[in-house]
Structure 1
Amino acid sequence: MKAVVFHGPKKVAVEERPVPKLQDPKDIIVKVQATALCGSELHVFRGHQPSPTDFIMGHEFVGTVVQAGSEVKSVSPGDKVVTPFTVSCMECFYCTHGSSARCSKCLLFGSAALDGGQAEYVRIPYADGTVLKAPAEINDRALVLMADIFPTGYFGAKNAFGMLQPQQEASEATVVVIGCGPVGLCAIVSALEYRPRHLFAVDSVPSRLELARQLGAEPLNFAEGKEKMTQRVKDVTEGRGADAVIEVVGLSPALRTAFDLLRPFGVISSIGVHNAEIPWSGNEAYGKNLRIQMGRCPVRSIFPEALPVLAKNQEKFSFMFDKIMRLTEAVEGYDLFDQMKVQKVVFQP
């Protein structure tokens, strides 16, 4: 089969690889119908996140079951499924407490630990706890968003609003989303479900800021200067700063900007993949009474909550599917996405 293989920073190749086989009675084999390129994969592609090589990329994919192990009960050959980007058993402490991202059996698709879905076929361990049948309320194109980026954006918004102080209604809140790539735009749509008083979107790419505006956020271009951006947030909050900031970028300067825009006792909900040091001191955090939630979205756990929000808003995301490419064009697709020339890339094997 054809597969996209990682060979080091800025080096991917489409190669012939063996079709995966069942290795355990809990496994399934899925024929991939669509597989998307995620912004978090750019951390590996760009070399920001040190990684081994020679594995198949891809953790956002949908497809059809072609083989099922003898212990698999939830799906059968012929079923169309969507796969969250990490393996989960749905039996351990973390899975049974809404934290499937840290399942005791957790493996990340598209890593040295487990080949991913940017291929014609993919093996899925612990299928009963990992995959879900394609829900009828989501169209075929939008379904791939439920593998990662929409639940992740939803998770960022849920944490931001859920951690507001009890005395504050969501409708009174001023919230900032930093990063208007695909996940950031999903966070914007999710945040708007809470009807905040003000919702700002921060980026430097004009096309992304325009999409944020169309979705309902007020755009702030940080290329025009941090002072201007900070002043606008203070203008609508009587000088306090934002009640919550959703940080999506995964880079230290973005996290620092989130901290600087925040009021005392404010919330940072960070869903970006970070590899650098935290850009503030303990004394600074103490002085602001910082409250923060960071980390990976538990897609399998949060799927039932996020699904109706995407179903309601799925037509707003048509721009995500402007660049559909053959899997054999993956090298070009990575370059386009790396250079931010497209919002999203979806490959079809």
Structure 2
Amino acid sequence: MSANATFSPAGQQKAIRWYPPSYDIRVESIPFPTIQDPDDVIVKVKLAALCGSDLHVYRGHSGIEKDHTCGHEFIGEVIELGSSYGAVSAKGRPALYSNLKVGDKVVSPFTVNCGECHVCRLGYTGRCPEGALFGSPALEGGQAQFIRVPKGGGTLFNLSNPSTWSSGLPQEDRAKALTGFADSSLLLLADILPTGVFAALQALNHPKVAPVITGKPWPLCFSQDVVGLGNEVDFTQEDKLLTIGIVGLGPVGICAAVSILDALSTRQLPYRIVAIDLVESRRDKMKAVYAAVGADGKGNGEFVVCSVEEAKIQVKEWTNGVGCTAVLEIVGHADALALAYDLVRAFGVIVSVGVHGGDLLPLTGRQCYNKNVSLDFGRCPARAMFPLAFDLLVKRQDVFGGVGTEASLIDKIVDFKQAAACYDEFDKNKVGKVIFDPWK
């Protein structure tokens, strides 16, 4: 069921591969993927991206000892389908088993999701029991010319058929976006944009943020029936002002910042945000992105970009030493988590979406108890987040639509020959988001 004359199961393809123990990236010829299960889909990769999470493996911090094809962010075209696909055989299964066709453009979340189990039905797709991470020893990655996608009907998003997912946008707006947007922009839906939206969503919908948003004290903020405050002292404007920290301004951190700004603007919530990074070039990128965001995505608040020490001073001044309502920890490092704890207030929340590879967390039980702090950890359920991320992508093409400008999230698109150099530059903070074109 081939849609491309160059596709041959007996042939060879180019791929970017990692070798243990660390810092060893090679471009090699490997066999084409083949259908191994009726639910499989073979995708011709148009573009694949380099992600910050790839650096954990690259640096040898993940305990992985097996060479494999890198990458978990890819967009491409369906060229072969397993026997599960078809209107009759797919009855009662996720919709793509009925309507996915050879030639359709697809984007994949960074993990396989069956779409049918209890976990997936609840929306926690990133932890599907049948899931696996692309670009790991368990599953070959997307930095290749072709890739096998297990459980494709529950994993992929069909960009050729916008009726196959929910959205807050009219159908015609979705269709227009899918024909008008660059593949490099749509590729952001594989990981970093859903993860940024996930971090913002987790923070703004956390119970400990509710008093600030509702203007009611704990626990009356959860009751729809309570009218008035009785003997309580009325809230001041300061009490209704969200103070948010963002630790880490790599590509995911920028996506989180744009997402939370959009949500605050949409809900017309007053805010103060401090965006923090150790690296000056990342801080400069964040400033340029914020400047590029239209007024409809900024709302009514104050946004500053700081170094670590500057951020501590800023939060102390803003809150009279109380601390942030919520802190988004995007790095996945013990030092970043410790900073988030220092910045957060008592009865505050830390949302951590960075990949933590260390054995121990830098916080003691006593510290967590003494601040009544809530820690929200873990992997983004990217497939479940796709509709919200897509709608934000459409709204914020001022940031997510370009390549190579001062305010573009994507720095450059390169061929596979530059893979080793790009991994090295990304590791040393000399470049931001890089996309590979397997066909250059």
TM-score above 0.5: yes
Residue 40 (structure 2) aligns with:
27
Contact 2:184 2:435 in 1 (8 A): no
The two structures have a TM-score, normalised by structure 2, of 0.76
SS in 2 for 1:67: strand
SS in 1 for 2:328: strand
Structure 1 gaps, min length 5: none
Residue 75 (structure 1) aligns with:
100
Contact 1:249 1:272 in 2 (8 A): yes
1:175-213 Cα offsets, whole Å, 9 max, x none, are 011000000000000010232511111002222112222
SS in 1 for 2:53: helix
Residue 58 (structure 2) aligns with:
45
Residue 84 (structure 1) aligns with:
109
Name whichever of 103-112 and 199-208 sits farther off.
199-208
Residue 221 (structure 2) aligns with:
none
Mapped partners of 1:322, 1:273: distance in 2:
23
Residue 307 (structure 2) aligns with:
221
| Shift in alpha-carbon separation, 1:230–1:322, aligned structure 2, 3 A | closer
Contact 1:30 1:66 in 2 (8 A): yes
TM-align CA RMSD: 1.4
Name whichever of 84-93 and 157-166 sits farther off.
157-166
Residue 296 (structure 1) aligns with:
379
Contact 1:320 1:345 in 2 (8 A): no
Residue 202 of structure 1 aligns with an amino acid whose one-letter code is: I
Mapped partners of 1:193, 1:320: distance in 2:
16
SS in 1 for 2:77: strand
Residue 101 (structure 1) aligns with:
126
Q: CA deviation at 1:166?
A: 2.3
SS in 1 for 2:327: strand
Mapped partners of 2:409, 2:66: distance in 1:
28
Mapped partners of 1:342, 1:80: distance in 2:
28
Residue 424 (structure 2) aligns with:
335
Mapped partners of 1:104, 1:280: distance in 2:
29
**Any residues of structure 2 matched to 1:146-165 within 5 Å, and which?**
146-163=189-206, 164-165=208-209
Name whichever of 84-93 and 158-167 sits farther off.
158-167
Residue 365 (structure 2) aligns with:
282
1:189-244 Cα offsets, whole Å, 9 max, x none, are 0010232511111002222112222333411112xxx3x42121021113211100
How many residue pairs align between the two structures? 345
**Any residues of structure 2 matched to 1:1-349 within 5 Å, and which?**
1-8=13-20, 9-72=22-85, 73=97, 74-134=99-159, 136=175, 137-138=177-178, 139=181, 140-163=183-206, 164-169=208-213, 172-195=241-264, 196-216=270-290, 217-222=303-308, 226=309, 228-276=310-358, 277-317=360-400, 318=402, 319-349=408-438
SS in 1 for 2:319: coil
Residue 433 of structure 2 aligns with an amino acid whose one-letter code is: K
Contact 1:202 1:221 in 2 (8 A): yes
Mapped partners of 1:270, 1:152: distance in 2:
11
Mapped partners of 1:219, 1:309: distance in 2:
22
Residue 139 of structure 2 aligns with an amino acid whose one-letter code is: L
Residue 344 of structure 1 aligns with an amino acid whose one-letter code is: K
Name whichever of 248-257 and 158-167 sits farther off.
158-167
SS in 2 for 1:255: helix
Contact 2:209 2:326 in 1 (8 A): no
Q: CA deviation at 1:107?
A: 0.5
Q: CA deviation at 1:150?
A: 0.2
Contact 1:89 1:130 in 2 (8 A): yes
SS in 1 for 2:263: coil
Name whichever of 74-83 and 207-216 sits farther off.
207-216
1:244-278 Cα offsets, whole Å, 9 max, x none, are 00001111000000000000010100000002211
Contact 2:203 2:209 in 1 (8 A): no
Contact 1:188 1:215 in 2 (8 A): no
Mapped partners of 1:82, 1:229: distance in 2:
37
Mapped partners of 2:315, 2:424: distance in 1:
35
Q: CA deviation at 1:322?
A: 2.8
Q: CA deviation at 1:328?
A: 2.7
SS in 1 for 2:112: coil
Q: CA deviation at 1:53?
A: 2.1
Contact 1:28 1:68 in 2 (8 A): yes
Q: CA deviation at 1:305?
A: 1.8
1:301-325 Cα offsets, whole Å, 9 max, x none, are 1111221012101231332333111
Contact 1:234 1:242 in 2 (8 A): no
SS in 2 for 1:165: helix
Residue 178 of structure 1 aligns with an amino acid whose one-letter code is: V
Mapped partners of 2:209, 2:256: distance in 1:
20
1:34-66 Cα offsets, whole Å, 9 max, x none, are 000000110110112211222111100000000
Bigger radius of gyration, 1 or 2?
Answer: 2
The two structures have a TM-score, normalised by structure 1, of 0.96
